[in-house]
Amino acid sequence: MTNSILSDWTTPFELAPFAQISDDDFAPALDQALAAHNAEIDAIAANTEAPSFANTVEALEAAGEDLNKVLSVFFTVAGADSNPKREELQRAFSPKLAAHFAGISSNKALFSRVADLWDRRDGLDLAEEQARVLMLSHRGFVRAGAALEGDVDARMQEIKSRLATLGTSFTQNLLADERDWYMDLSEDDLHGLPDFVVDAARAAGKEKGADGPVVTLSRSIIVPFLQFSPRRDLREKAYRAWTARGANGGETDNREIAAEILTLRQERAQLLGYDSFADYKLETEMARTPDRVRDLLMQVWEPAKAQADADAEVLTEMMQDDGVNGPLEAWDWRYYAEKRRKAEHDLDEAALKPYLQLDRMIEASFACANRLFGLEFAPLDVPLYHPDCRAWEVTRNGQHVAVFIGDYFARGSKRSGAWCSAMRAQAKFPKVQAPVVINVCNFAKGDPALLSYDDARTLFHEFGHALHQMLSNVTYESISGTSVARDFVELPSQLYEHWLEVPEVLAEYATHAETGEPMPQEMLEKVLNAANFDQGFQTVEYVASALVDLAFHDGAAPADPMVKQAEVLAELGMPHAIGMRHATPHFAHVFAGDGYSSGYYSYMWSEVMDADAFAAFEEAGGAFDAERAKALEDNILSTGGSREAEDLYLAFRGRLPGVEALLKGRGLIAA
């Protein structure tokens, strides 16, 4: 019988036939797809014809269709709807996939064909996009170790395989800690919590099979609990559990895994001739060097820390007025900051939240995309991998553009955080294919589901990534959509967040869940005026994490990452009552894979540009200026990685911005 994953997908828009796929299909499908891909690679490498762009680079682009189908389905469900079987498969697949791709990158015959083309590139009469793909292909082979020989080559393959296994273990340990811990709440413990927090706790209790409401380690539940619970003892218990993820001892402890990952990364970089892993990793980013990253982060750190220190004094005084002696602690900050926000801005999140309905915020994100880029969204009734998921067909001028899938609610089977991925990327070669894009979030369920302002910002952020995928218009999949420098990829997502704060958007879509009335003008003004509230805290917790990440990778690997983390924070003068946004044992951005290693700074690098990019709209005809929207699509959203990121931004804006736009945007210096 034909494997459902590898069969022809006759579903609408050739979506994965989730209803027909069982977990037992994945292993045989992967083996079959790997064998097919190997055969394709071997045929390219053994081709007796002289290397050409078509028979080598384009042949590589066309290879692996079955493998893409298997991996797109598997990693979608493994991240968003895991189970013990899928976790077992992921542990088995990781080293197998690492070995497969390492075998390709170390294939000497294949590399010699690519290198031959690279050496003759000036005489090949390639189009601009083809020249870019050749450069990236050659660079990718070199950076993967294709030029290494003998024992050094063998050691590189061992390192890659081990890193893949360790990254999977780190992710699964973190998921286990997040899934297994929860804190029961009695009815008395609910005192002082707004209804939306109580509702979320009761829903979480049902999901966990508990007898009553619970606090879990989902950010959408624990953060509002820390904001609103007057019970300091319970806040401390919850906060300590939240920050102990991956560091609880036993089988799910990630500290030794992190140490081994850092050691192997440093060895990998040195095998390739780099002084440090940061030097290796940043070479292809906009930042280029660790020093430029550190310079940016420290320019932001100093004013952010000054603001946080000043805020800590105010919060400490508020706490002492409540009769609590001793220093302000990390489990106190959000509670007293929320009280302060209510006092200074007369803004109560419990009163605000009914105006931020999930469905209305989805509508708002779609409406902005319609006004900016002419996109239209029609609901689809198609089988997906979980009942929580929804799908829309995206069209423009009646023409199909993409399928967009939203998976918005937190559950125990889903890893934490929010992300965007393409189950199918846009391309025109070897055939035209429209993208299938997923946004995955972890919002609390409710009837209706209500968002915090940060949740709404997250929704717009991930949809910005989705637009980058959906509006892509290049020939080759390897440079499609978000296949750009890591410190550029966050520009479209962070830029799109700005449309949430456009007054006319909130005025139309921020409507009360019960009355349907629009957000009162007075509240709207308070929301916008409080947009930069507590930026000292938010900036410090982020920049501290980015600086620790950089320190881990810029030089010899630390024997004990926890000691190194403490040293970096001490040297920075980290405020006592602020923790890192992601401490080492649960820093999945950095340790679940290579994606953000040495690269957690990239959100801030992109933010320097996004503040400046939105200013371009404001300087023109406003947030929905048609000319600026077209320039954004033509130069950034549609171009993928077809040119250097710096060139793309210059084409859009005409210049590169300084850090001042970011500091002003965060309210850390006077506007």
In the predicted model, is pLDDT for residue 670 greater than 90? no
pLDDT given for residue 671 in this prediction: 64
Question: 10 Å Cβ neighbour count for 581?
Answer: 16
Rg, the chain, Cα only: 25
Between these two residues, 670 and 374, which has the higher pLDDT value? 374
- Would you say residue 575 has pLDDT above 70? yes
What is the identity of the amino acid at 173? N
DSSP 246: T
Q: Residue 317 contacts by C-beta under 8 Å, 6 or more apart in sequence?
A: none
Determine what percent of the chain is predicted with pLDDT higher than 90: 96
Mean per-residue pLDDT for 518-547? Answer: 94
Three-state SS for 126? coil
Q: Is 273 exposed, middle or buried (0-12, 13-18, 19+ CB in 10 A)?
A: exposed
Q: Average pLDDT in the 296-308 region?
A: 97
Q: What percent of the chain has pLDDT over 70?
A: 100
Mean pLDDT of 122-128: 97
What pLDDT sits at residue 591?
Answer: 98
Asked whether the beta carbons of 4 and 374 are under 8 A apart, the reply is: no
585 prior amide bond cis, ω within 30: no
Say how far residue 201 (Cα) sits from the centre of its chain.
26
Compute the distance between CA of residue 555 and CA of residue 58 in angstroms, rounded to an integer. Answer: 38
| 315: nearest Cα among 296, 291, 334 | 334
CA 651/CA 488 separation, integer angstroms: 14
Check whether 170 has a pLDDT greater than 80: yes
Over 63-115, what HEC string results? CCHHHHHHHHHHHHHHHHCCCHHHHHHHHHHHHHHHHHHHHHHCCHHHHHHHH
Angle, CA of 99, 100 and 106, to the nearest 5°: 80
12-147 has CATH 1.20.1050.40 classification? yes
Question: What is the predicted pLDDT for the residue at 442?
Answer: 96
- For the purposes of burial, counting CB atoms within 10 Å of the CB of 348, is it exposed (0-12), middle (13-18) or buried (19 or more)? middle
* Pairing mode of beta strands 390-396, 376-380: antiparallel
Distance CA(87)–CA(184), nearest Å, equals 27
Pairing of strands 376-380, 214-216: unpaired
**Contact (Cβ atoms closer than 8 angstroms) between residue 533 and residue 345:** yes
- Paired tokens of 527: 């929301």
Residue 89: closest CA among 175, 28, 20: 28
Kindly state the DSSP code that residue 53 receives in the 8-state scheme. Answer: I
Annotated catalytic residue 541 = no
Two structure tokens written together for 653: 């804006």
Between the alpha carbon of residue 349 and those of residues 148, 344, 510, the distances in Å are 57, 13, 14
d(CA 115, CA 107): 12
Please tell me the CATH superfamily of domain 251-347+535-600, with its number.
Neurolysin, domain 3 (1.10.1370.10)
**In the prediction, which pLDDT does 665 show?**
86
From CA 286, how far away is CA 292, in angstroms rounded? 10
Q: Which amino acid is at 571?
A: E
Give the CA-trace dihedral at 652, 654, 660, 665, to 10 degrees: -30
**Cα–Cα distance for residue pair 455/335, rounded to 1 Å:** 18
Q: pLDDT for 643-657, tens place per residue? A: 999 999 999 999 999
In the structure, what pLDDT confidence band is assigned to residue 661 with cuts at 50, 70 and 90? confident
Domain spans of the chain, in order of start = 12-147, 181-245, 251-347+535-600, 354-529+603-665
Q: What is the mean pLDDT of residues 250-270?
A: 98
Per-residue model confidence as pLDDT tens digits over 381-431:
999 999 999 999 999 999 999 999 999 999 999 998 999 999 999 999 999
Q: Is 106 within 8 Å of 142 (Cβ atoms)?
A: no
Question: How crowded is the C-beta side of 236, counted as CA atoms within 13 Å?
Answer: 5
Lookup result for tokens 């606090």: 215
Q: Which of 8, 3, 9, 36 is nearest to 22 (CA)?
A: 3
| pLDDT at residue 348 in the model | 87
* Intrachain domains 251-347+535-600 and 354-529+603-665 with the same fold: yes
CB 467 within 8 A of CB 107: no
The pLDDT value given to residue 99: 95
CA proximity to 219, closest of 236, 241, 202, 234: 241
- Average pLDDT on 352-368 reads 97
Average pLDDT, the chain: 96
- For domain 354-529+603-665, say whether CATH 1.10.1370.40 is its number: yes
In angstroms, the CA 62 to CA 156 distance is 27
Question: With 90 as the cut, is the pLDDT of residue 329 above it?
Answer: yes
Which of 522, 472, 459, 508 is closest to 635 using CA atoms? Answer: 472
Using DSSP's 3-state secondary structure scheme, residue 394 falls into strand
User: In Å, how far are 2, 35, 383, 385, 515 from 8, measured between CA atoms?
Assistant: 10, 18, 16, 18, 48
Among residues 138, 109, 110, 140, the alpha carbon closest in space to that of 124 is found at 138
Q: Let me know if 204 is exposed, middle or buried by CB neighbors in 10 A (0-12, 13-18, 19+).
A: buried
For residues 460 and 405, is the Cβ–Cβ distance under 8 A?
Answer: no
Residues 118 and 138 sit within 8 Å (Cβ to Cβ): yes
pLDDT at 2: 78
- Catalytic, out of 40, 285, 338, 462: 462
Residue 392 one-letter amino acid:
W
State the amino acid at position 462 in one-letter form: E
- Averaged over 325-354, what is the pLDDT? 94
What does the pLDDT read at residue 183? 98
Q: Tell whether the model's pLDDT for residue 1 goes beyond 80.
A: no
Please give the Cα distance from 266 to 558 (Å, whole number): 10
Q: Report pLDDT digits (tens) over 601-658.
A: 999 999 999 999 999 999 999 999 999 999 999 999 999 999 999 999 999 999 999 8
